[in-house]
Structure 1
């Protein structure tokens, strides 16, 4: 028995025709240490904004990727997109990601350092 079927997921016999979904990417992490707190749940509560667009796909097992496609000139922060495909459609996700990266190359971009 494969790992996928032992966890209750069975790969489809034919690929689905579901188009990929685009969502905002996770926000960039803020620099610096978090403020002190007395509530032991605060780290979990503070992490919610970082996973609001990713947790649903982690739970459903859908492949997803976040790509930077632009840098904001005012802040120097990357602006991106998260692309999500149907379960077992990593092939489609990688094809769309490659096309987007070829249209908006970012590997050589560097934010200004002050």
Structure 2
């Protein structure tokens, strides 16, 4: 319920309030459900969005990296295969415009060898 309120506040531009609420939601979910629970990861992603809007990009990237790492580990366990390319591609998008595209093109070239 509070997560939804945080999302609404974010959409309305009330980012300081959204950050406060989503920080509480994340702390509670981490304590009750664990850091890798899907509901906790959703709260992390929303909080990262708020932090990015508030120009706390480094903190936002740290949270998103944690979400991606947790999700890729879950997928690896479910699929029994590596999802390195999926994780690496998204990580490159944070480094600047166009870098993710070049990384993908480089990966394709290596696969064909």
Higher relative contact order (CA 8 A, sep 6+): 1
Name which one, 1 or 2, has greater alpha-carbon Rg: 1
The TM-score, its normalising length taken from structure 1, stands at 0.26
Q: Greater helix share, 1 or 2?
A: 2
